[in-house]
Amino acid sequence: HLHCSLIASTYSFCLGFCLFGNDHLNRAVTASVASIDDVARNFKLAIAQCNALNDTRLNASRHINSLSTAVRKEADKTPGINETVLNEVEAIISSLNEEVDVVGTDLAQVKSVLSGIAFLEQTKLYSERIEVERWILCVTLLSIMLVVLFAGVIAFCRQSKKGAVVFSGLGFAIFIVAWMLFAAIFPATVALADFCADGGSFIRSHLSNYTTDTINFYRTCDPRPSHDNIPSTMAVGNISDQISKIHNMEEKLDALLSKLFNQSGELSNGTHLFADDITRSLKFIGALETTIACYAYRNDVNVMENGICDGAMLGASILTFCLFFLGAFMFVLLLIVSKSWHLFTRLPSDYVEVDDEDPFFPRGNDSTIPVDIYGTHVYNPRTRFANSLDRTEPSTGTTTATAAVVANGSANNHPSASTALLEANDQNTPLWQRGAGGPAITTATVNNAPPAYDAFGISNEQR
């Protein structure tokens, strides 16, 4: 009993730690998946801002081309135009076209870095689904083990052989389940340890070098709240500088056109549209710098890494070791319980069926028991007194009936006081049938007979 109790307690302890490790693993993976989702959503927002900036860039390029055509028309209509200023205007317009194209190239590079969003979304989707199914499976199986163990302990405490046999069968089933769980979780734990130790090659096989370097930057950067704290792998800083340069060139172009064509309406409208494009571009690049800044990703990237390589690794290790000890202790517990079957075997009973040869109460006398047996004999003082007179031990002389017998001289000439009541002459008659028939009662006997009592023990003299 002591060994089984110790093994069962240790088994329950291991089951509790298995549930703890499973929950710890689930919380760590859930936190990591949530961080991956945050990073993916920020990347998607950055891609949307890049697309908006690129649309503005395309509009600016069309407006520059329209402005170049308008300048050429106005120059043809204006006689004696200053060719030096006109050449400078055309050079500025050509430079603006080149700068706008460079902005488009840099935007394409930024979008290529952010293209790792697809891998992050797939990782988030599969990790979340697999973790939910794994957690439900482990909790269900471990709960079944706990219920079986609890039922087995109850059966053992009640010394039930049937319960011990059933527990042995179910215990063998959960013994197999425990080792199957161990066989599935142990390789996964080893794979997780290998990934945390050297997972760079696996990540680089699914992400570009720029994306990997960007994530490493977010892991080690200083999260100060400034727009210039952005990864160098993205050309966002170059885009911001180029847009600022385009803005300065646009202001210079506007001044030269005003000087050369004296506030032409068509040219003023063209420069105004281009200025609006530059203003929107500056707003978009500012929003993009905020979206990809260090402080927007630092916490999520660290939680993503720590959740997988710290919390999940700890939970998986606890679950693996506890499952191993669970299987070992379950094996020992099954051996002890199987050897205790004979302890709970019911021994044969000493009960013997009463037959007709019973000397104390034959079966044939069952039908002669009166209905009012309790009121007639059990609580009747006259019967108890008469039975006391039939005993062979010497009388103490304290009763009236005994004194009357002694006074008459001899007990042989007068029947005892119990003769009239119980028919002492027929010893084979049951006690409850000894009151019917018999010799006549003498006057002395009647006078010296004990007072009559009713069924409640009250004599006629006391009434």
284 — pLDDT class (breaks 50, 70, 90): very high
Instruction: Name the β-bridge partners of 459.
Output: 453
**Over residues 74-81, mean pLDDT:** 77
More confident residue, 427 or 291: 291
Contacts of 411 (CB under 8 A, 6+ apart): 405
**Residue 346 above 60 pLDDT?**
no
Contact 408, 343 (CB under 8 A): no
Most confident range (mean pLDDT) of 268-282, 355-369, 433-447 is: 268-282
457 — pLDDT class (breaks 50, 70, 90): low
456 — pLDDT class (breaks 50, 70, 90): low
- Give the Cα separation of 373 and 57 in Å (integer): 117
Round the average pLDDT of the chain to a whole number and report it: 76
**Over residues 425-429, mean pLDDT:** 50
**Over residues 269-293, mean pLDDT:** 90
More confident residue, 428 or 408: 428
188-239 tens-digit pLDDT: 999 888 888 887 778 888 888 888 888 889 988 888 777 678 888 888 888 9
281 — pLDDT class (breaks 50, 70, 90): very high
Buried b / exposed e over 93-131, threshold 16 CB at 10 Å, is beebeebbebbeebbebbbebbebbebbbebbeebbeeb
User: Is the C-alpha dihedral spanning 399, 401, 404, 409 positive or negative?
Assistant: negative
Q: Is the pTM of this model over 0.85?
A: no
306 — pLDDT class (breaks 50, 70, 90): confident
More confident residue, 170 or 443: 170
Share of the chain above pLDDT 70, in %: 68
Count Cα atoms within 13 angstroms, Cβ side, for 325: 17
**Residue 44 above 50 pLDDT?**
yes
With tokens 């999520």, the residue in question is 300
97-109 tens-digit pLDDT: 899 999 999 999 9
**Residue 148 above 70 pLDDT?**
yes
80 — pLDDT class (breaks 50, 70, 90): confident
**Residue 406 above 50 pLDDT?**
no
**Residue 280 above 90 pLDDT?**
yes
352-382 tens-digit pLDDT: 555 556 565 555 555 555 555 555 555 455 4
More confident residue, 428 or 42: 42
Confidence at residue 364, expressed as pLDDT on a 0 to 100 scale: 58
172-191 tens-digit pLDDT: 888 888 899 999 999 999 98
**Residue 398 above 50 pLDDT?**
no
**Over residues 239-266, mean pLDDT:** 84
Per-domain boundaries in the chain: 2-343, 363-448
Confidence at residue 360, expressed as pLDDT on a 0 to 100 scale: 58
User: Is the C-alpha dihedral spanning 417, 421, 426, 432 positive or negative?
Assistant: negative
